[in-house]
Structure 1
Amino acid sequence: MNMTIPGAVVKDVRASLPRHKTLKYGRRKLTDIRSAALHHSATLSGSPEAFARYHVGTNGWPGIAYHFVVQKDGTIYWCNDPEVISYHVGNSNRHALGICLVGDFRKQKPTPSQIEAANRLIQHLQVQIPTMKQVLGHYEYPGYAWKNCPAFLMGTFRTNYSQFLQKTLGKVDKPKQVPVAISLNDSLLSVTGFLQEGISMLPVRAVANAAGGKVEWIAATQDVRVNGKDLNEKIVEGSAYAPAREMAAALCLQAEWDGKTQTVKLRGCVT
């Protein structure tokens, strides 16, 4: 996985952290990852090495619990492969990736550098792992409502992260776009999509509105749904785009590609 993050310092410490002599964490596919789990270390200071020693030596775990640790100065430490199923959110471990911000946020606040680094890290990971749509606090996972971790309001964090995405995603991750036309039952729409790596991406709201579909924006999870179906969308300059075939399936349409005219043709019954 590429971990070069514009505007952030990332240090790869995966090979140097303490590990259990015999125990090993299980592994998963990247597509198994559904959420990023935010933690605080509950210590005024600390390091990946110190956390790993505690998790291995005291807890008897195979290795450090977190995939990433974010220091107060904004430095991001890469501690586990994303495919590693580490121990940090109980029965949800298989589908969650752990990010720990150093600090005890019952007594102090995350630094602006930490929040910015966490935002950049999550943004990067969501591009690398499209299935990781949710950003949740430790206490939001099943069985952990009692746990004051990460000890700050996740609703506020997600709102600020959403604003961060609106400002940066189009600039940082703007894809190379080849415009494509869109027709619905042989009538050209007034909007266009684009080709990205051979996949036709269509503007979600415009196409859904034209076809009579229902669009939902789930701010808490940064998720777009059409007629209740999740999409592997990309946010480009504040607008959501999704693969043509996913859009067609959600709208009960058929999608065809006309290479001569660079047009995505959507056909079927429009409600």
Structure 2
Amino acid sequence: MWMNGLTSRLEDLRSKLPVHRNKTYLKSKEAVPQYLTIHHSGTKTGDAFSFAKYHVNHHGWPGAGYHFVLTGKGLIQWCHNLNVISYHTKGRNRGNIGICLVGEGDFTGLQRKSLLDLSAALCSYYRLPSSAVLGHREHPQQQTVCPSINMKEFRMELSKAVLQKGEQGTLPPVLRKGMRGPAVTLLQKKLRHAGFPLPGYGIDGIFGNETEQAVRNFQKSRKILQDGIAGPVTWSELLSVKPR
């Protein structure tokens, strides 16, 4: 999973933060996000609890605006499931994971390391390029200096970090109907080993209707999003299954 290597710094607050009594955030049906967006809080102090309280009570939002809050001590506070469409980048929230650094630009070394490690973990897991990681101000029609870091330099650092993680082993590519090739052949073999045979066409390296249905059936059995796409979550589940 994406949090491997981060657990000592990760504080799971998904069920512990203030939320609105009547409102809830929508959830994306897409298996893979389009962006990671970096923010700063614009405050000297704060944490996921204080930000969630402010967002709910002052803005009337369903909950905290960010998916992650990074404290000065490098703690990674996890606020939402990653498919939650929270409010952090006006007009660009769908498929967008929001990461907030506590501060106004005077970020600590521990914060910067956690930002780099978290971003690299998510990019590696979802197979996102570093160009998918944007500062708040880089999105269209955003009137802000947020997140007060040099994003070009950060993306260069991130590319190196993702490459290093890739050398340690990455998941196969995202596959969907219409694709073909060795990666599809591997997918079909893993489906068969997991107990989801392809009786019509077998292992032919072509992602057709039969393979798509087998992927959906496997996803249903693992209680994950049933979209028929072999993305990072589906691959992780498939690769963890021992052959029957």
TM-score range, shorter chain: 0.5 to 0.7
Secondary structure, counterpart of 1:160 in structure 2: helix
**1:111: Cα distance to partner?**
1.6
Map of 2:124 onto structure 1: 127
**1:126: Cα distance to partner?**
2.1
Map of 2:19 onto structure 1: 19
**1:29: Cα distance to partner?**
2.5
| TM-score normalised by L of structure 2 | 0.66
Is 1:147 aligned to residue 138 of structure 2? no
Q: Give, in whole Å, the separation in 2 of the partners of 1:48 and 1:196.
A: 41
Q: Give, in whole Å, the separation in 2 of the partners of 1:43 and 1:35.
A: 24
The answer on whether the counterparts of 2:19 and 2:62 sit within 8 Å (CA) in structure 1 is yes
**1:199: Cα distance to partner?**
5.1
Map of 1:198 onto structure 2: 186
Map of 1:50 onto structure 2: 50
Among candidates 109, 113, 118, match of residue 115 of structure 2: 118
Map of 2:153 onto structure 1: 156
Cα distance change, pair 115–196 in 1 and its aligned pair in 2 (3 A): farther
% of aligned pairs identical?
Answer: 33
Cα distance change, pair 156–131 in 1 and its aligned pair in 2 (3 A): closer
Give unpaired runs (5+ residues) of structure 2: 173-181, 189-229, 233-244
Among candidates 167, 179, 196, match of residue 170 of structure 1: 167
The answer on whether the counterparts of 1:17 and 1:48 sit within 8 Å (CA) in structure 2 is yes
What amino acid does structure 2 have at the position aligned with 1:41? S
Q: Give, in whole Å, the separation in 2 of the partners of 1:158 and 1:2.
A: 19
Q: Which has the higher strand share?
A: 1
Give unpaired runs (5+ residues) of structure 1: 178-193, 201-231, 235-271
What amino acid does structure 2 have at the position aligned with 1:57? N
Q: Which has the higher helix share?
A: 2
Cα distance change, pair 91–175 in 1 and its aligned pair in 2 (3 A): closer
What amino acid does structure 1 have at the position aligned with 2:161? F
**Number of residue equivalences:** 181
Cα distance change, pair 196–44 in 1 and its aligned pair in 2 (3 A): farther
Pairwise CA RMSD of aligned residues?
Answer: 2.9
Map of 2:223 onto structure 1: none
**1:9: Cα distance to partner?**
1.2
| TM-score normalised by L of structure 1 | 0.60
Question: Which of the pair has more CA radius of gyration?
Answer: 1
The answer on whether the counterparts of 2:120 and 2:161 sit within 8 Å (CA) in structure 1 is no
Map of 1:3 onto structure 2: 3
The structure, 1 or 2, with the larger RCO (C-alpha pairs under 8 Å, 6+ apart) is 2
